[in-house]
A and B are shown apart, each in its own frame.
Chain A
Amino acid sequence: MPIHDQSYRHWEGELKSHSFRWWVIAYEGLKVILRRKLFIILILTPAIIQFFVFGGLIYGFNTFGAMANINQITPDFFFRFCFQQTFFILLICVFGGSGIIANDLKSNALQLYFSKPLTRSDYIIGKVATILVMLECITAIPCILLFIEYAVLSQDLTFLRENYWLIGSIIAYSLVLNLPITFLTLALSSITKSYRYSAIILVGIVLGTTVISKLFQIIFRGADWANFIMYWYNINVIGKGLFGMKDEFSEWQWSLAIMLVLTIVCFLIMFRKIKGVEIVK
C-alpha cells in the first residue's frame, strides 16, 4: 500500500497489571513537581547539602580521631541528622505538596482519574507516595547512607555489632517524621481548591501549635501537658524513644497516640473528599 493510513488505529496491546498503578500516579506527580527549577534550587539542594555536611563530619572524625573536637558518633548523631531535616520537610510539603490534591480538584481532574480503571485506594496511595518519596530521600535514605559510611570507615565491627538496630530505628523514625505530615498535607490539600490556602493552613498548624503550646505553658505556669500540643515536640519525643535515649522515655506512648490519631483523622478527611461524584444539595 503506497499511501499509508494516517488516521486512527486500533490498539491491541497488553495492559500492565493493576498492582503498580499507584506508582504511575506518584511518578508523574513527582515529574510535575520536580520540573520547577526554583523548587530544586531552593529546597532540595540545601537538604542534600546537609547530607554532605554530616558525611564530612563522619569522615573527619574517622580521619582525625580524638584529636579534633568532634564528639563521638553516637546514635544521637543520626537522630539529629534526621531531626535537622525537619525544616526542609516542612518546606517540601508546603511548596511541593500543598497543590497535590488541590490542583486536581481545581482542574476537575478527578472525573478523568475515576473514569479510568483506577480505584480510590490507587489514587490515595499514589499521592501519598509522591510526597513520601521526596521526604524519604532527604531523611531515611541519606541517613542510612551515613550509617553505612561510618560503618565502612570505622574499620572495625564493634560499631556495627552494637548498633545494627539503628537502621530499623532510622527507618521507623523517618516514617514517624514523614507520615503524619504527609497525611496532614494531603488532607489540607483535599479540602480546598487553592494550593495557596492549603499551604498557608499547613504552615499555620505546624507553627501555630508551637506558639499555642508555649503560650499555654506560660499561662498555666509550666504545665507539661501543653507540650503535647506542639507538633515537633511529639516527633522529638518519639524519636528519642526510638533511638534509645532515656530521658522523658515514659511519655513517648502519648506522643505516639497523638500522632496516630492525627494521621488517621487526616486519612479519613482525605478519603471522604475524594469522590468521583459531586453532589450539591
Chain B
Amino acid sequence: MTPIIEMNSLSKWYSQVMAVNDITLSLGVGVTGLLGPNGAGKTTLMRLITGLLKPDKGEIKVFGEHIWNNYSLNQRIGYCPDHDAFYELMTGFQFVESLAMLNGYTRSEAEELTMGVLKTVDMLDNKDKKIGAYSKGMRQRIKLAQALLHDPDLILLDEPLSGMDPIGRHNTIKLIEQLEQQGKSVIVSSHILHEIEAMTDNILLINYGRILAEGNIHEIRELIDRHPHNVYINCDKPRLLASVLVQYDDIVSTNISKEDGALIVETTRPDDLYSRLPAIILENDIRVENLHSPDDNLQAVFKYLVG
C-alpha cells in the first residue's frame, strides 16, 4: 500500500520556537485523527502537508512528490483551516463558486460543482445569504464545502466541528465516514476526544512538535503498560469474583469501590483477563450488570501520554 503522505526527519521552527521536531512517519488511506494539546504543532503539521509552509529540515512527500512549490498537487488536496477568513459581503454561493473558478473550472462547471457540494454540506437553503449573516455553524459548513469542491483525494480538516450544533456534527461525521468509504484520505484535527473516537480508531498523538503515538487507540492503550488496565465489574458477588481473579498473576490489584460496591481490578494483560472472564462468570453463577474499562479510551490515552 503506497503511503499518501511520507515525512522524513521533518522539522519546522519559528525563530526560537520548535513547532515540528524531527517527525518521520507515513500515513495511508483512511481517516486519521490528529490530536494534541494547544500549541503542540498540529496546525503547523497540517500546513506543511498542504505545502503552505516550507520545511526547515527534512522532507515531506505527498502522493509521492515533494509538496513545496508543487502547485499541481494542490488539485488533489482539500484544506479546511481553523480560522475564519471570508469576504463578508459575498453570499455563500458566490464564495464557493469563485473558489471553484480559481481552481480552473469554467463558469458552468463551477456552478454545477458548487451546487453539488453545497447540497453535501446542507447549505442549499442559505446559499444566497451574505456570509456576514451566517452563524458559526454555517460558516464552518461553507469552509468544508470549499475543501471538498474539487473532489480531492486528501482532505485536511482543522477543527471541522467547532460551532456546529449536534445535528451538524452528526452529519459531518457521517460525511467523513462516506469519504473514507470512497477511498479518500482524511486527516482530522480536534480537541474533542469523543468526536475523534466517533470518526476513527486510527490516531496520531502529537505534543511539543513530536509524535507521541500513532495507530489504533486500543493497541496504543495496551502498549501503555506502565499504567495497568482498570476494569470495572459491577456484579452481585464482587468479593467472590475478586478472590477468583486474584489468583492469576496478571492481576495487580483488586478494589471494592466505596460508592457502589463494584469490583475494580487492575491487570497488566487485559487480553488474558477478558478471555477467561466469561467462563469464570458462568461457573460461579455471577450476575454481571456492568462491565467496562474506564481508561481504555482516548481520554485515558491522552492523559497518560500527555499528562
Chain B: residues with CB nearer than 8 A to chain A? 132-133
Which residues on A are within 8 Å of B, measured CB to CB?
A: 280-281
CA distance A280 to B133 in the complex (A): 5
User: How far does the alpha carbon of A24 sit from the alpha carbon of B132 in the complex, in Å?
Assistant: 35
Cross-chain pair count, CB within 8 angstroms: 3
Output the least CB separation between B268 and chain A (Å).
38
Query: What is the CB-to-nearest-CB distance from A272 to chain B, in angstroms, rounded to a whole number?
Result: 19
Report B130 CB to chain A, min CB distance, Å.
8
A281 cross-chain contacts in B, Cβ below 8 A: 133
Specify which chain A residues have a CB less than 8 angstroms from the CB of B132 in the assembled complex: 280
Nearest 3 CB-CB pairs, A to B?
A280-B133, A280-B132, A281-B133
Contacts of A280 in B (CB 8 A): 132-133
CA of A281 to CA of B133, assembled, Å:
6
User: Smallest CB–CB gap between B87 and chain A, Å?
Assistant: 15
The distance in angstroms between the C-alpha atoms of A203 and B132, with both chains bound, is 31
Q: Show 3 residue pairs from A and B whose CB-CB distance is below 8 angstroms, ordered by the A residue.
A: A280-B132, A280-B133, A281-B133
Chain A: CB-nearest residue to B132: A280
B238 to chain A, nearest CB (A): 33
Tell me the smallest distance from the CB of B214 to a CB of chain A, in Å. Answer: 39
Q: Which residue of B lies closest to A279 (CB)?
A: B133
How many angstroms from the CA of A70 to the CA of B132 in the assembled complex?
64
Give Cα A281–Cα B88 distance, bound, in whole angstroms: 12
A281 to B134, CA, bound (A): 9
**B126 CB to closest chain A CB, in angstroms?**
13
B134 to A, closest residue via Cβ? A280
A281 to B129, CA, bound (A): 9
Closest CB-CB distance, A142 to chain B, in whole Å?
A: 47
In whole angstroms, how far apart are the Cα atoms of A280 and B136 in the complex?
A: 13
Closest to B135 in A: A280
A192 to chain B, nearest CB (A): 15
In the bound complex, what is the Cα–Cα distance between A280 and B132 (angstroms)? 7
Q: How far is the CB of B133 from chain A (nearest CB, A)?
A: 5
Which A-chain residue is minimally distant from B129 (CB atoms)? A281
Shortest distance from the beta carbon of B300 to any chain A beta carbon, whole Å? 27
How many whole Å from B137's CB to the nearest CB in chain A? Answer: 15
A153 CA / B132 CA spacing, docked (Å): 66
Chain A residues lying within 8 Å of B133, measured Cβ to Cβ, are: 280-281
A280 to B, closest residue via Cβ:
B133
* Nearest B-chain residue to A281, judged by Cβ: B133
Least CB distance from A264 to B in Å reads: 31
* Least distance between B290 CB and chain A CB atoms (Å): 32
Can you name the residue of chain A whose Cβ is closest to the Cβ of B88?
Answer: A280
